[in-house]
Amino acid sequence: MKYNRLLCAGIAVSLLWVSPCPILSNEQNTSYASPAPTKGRAYYEERGDIVWEVPTHRKLIALTFDDGPDVSNTPAILDLLRKYDAKATFFVVGSRVEKLPHLVKREREEGHEIGNHTFLHSSFQHISRNKALSELDQGQASIVQATGAGTHLFRPPGGSYNDSLVKLAKEKGLKIILWSWHQDTLDWRKPGVHRIANKVLSNARNGDIVLMHDFVHHSTQTVEALKIILPELKKRGYSFVTVSELLSNREKPDGLIEVNK
């Protein structure tokens, strides 16, 4: 009986240490595991440390694109945005910016916003301060080199964050921008054009920040989905704005603690 009790206790302890998230094999999948913050969303959101969406009565939506630029998808997306008089925010990876600086320059010249998405798209779940600092600084430098100006927006790969990263972002003058939980299109999984489009259209709300990607290896599903999303939301009366424009239309909710000036 004593042996059985000890065996059960050992199994229980082992189960407590099993990670709830699967170990994924490639960089893109690994970086999009669930974030593991040290405090809940409400703590950071109330202080303005991290933005998931923006409370507003105006019919405004911010489309955001991660991991680019890409030699084919990025120009196609820019052409569609121009066709529908839409502005967006591109969270770029510095190592890709260095290879395709003209596309990032075009993004800014056409009125879109650029955000820092690190230099190598390294996961921030287990990262030293020095490595995180290097990722931020090199990412910023690549944007400056391509466009002549830096950015004040930062999106950590996979949405991973903690107190240390929030503090570091503040030190570097960066605002952490994530996305509306109901507007994660999961387009990097290549779920199909209509699934991507339906995710956005079925959940569209004022102040949404939509997560998409302009770099998904061997996939044009996001481009094709935008051909459905843009005209439909425009017909519903929505305007597509940059993250900074969305923030400028923010209506202060009850209980907001203004500490991140």
Q: How far is CA 201 from CA 34, 216, 236, in A?
A: 23, 21, 10
How far apart CA 2 and CA 24 sit, in angstroms, is 39
254 assigned to active site: no
Tokens representing 112 are 């879109």
Query: Quick one: which of 115, 226, 129, 206 has its CA closest to 168?
Result: 129
Give the angle 256-259-261 at the CA atoms, nearest 5°: 115
The active-site residue, picked from 49, 66, 208, 214, is: 66
The active-site residue, picked from 49, 70, 213, 214, is: 213
Contact present, 216 and 73 (Cβ < 8 Å): yes
Distance in Å from the first CA to the final CA of the chain: 62
66 assigned to active site: yes
Q: Which residues are known catalytic residues?
A: 66, 213
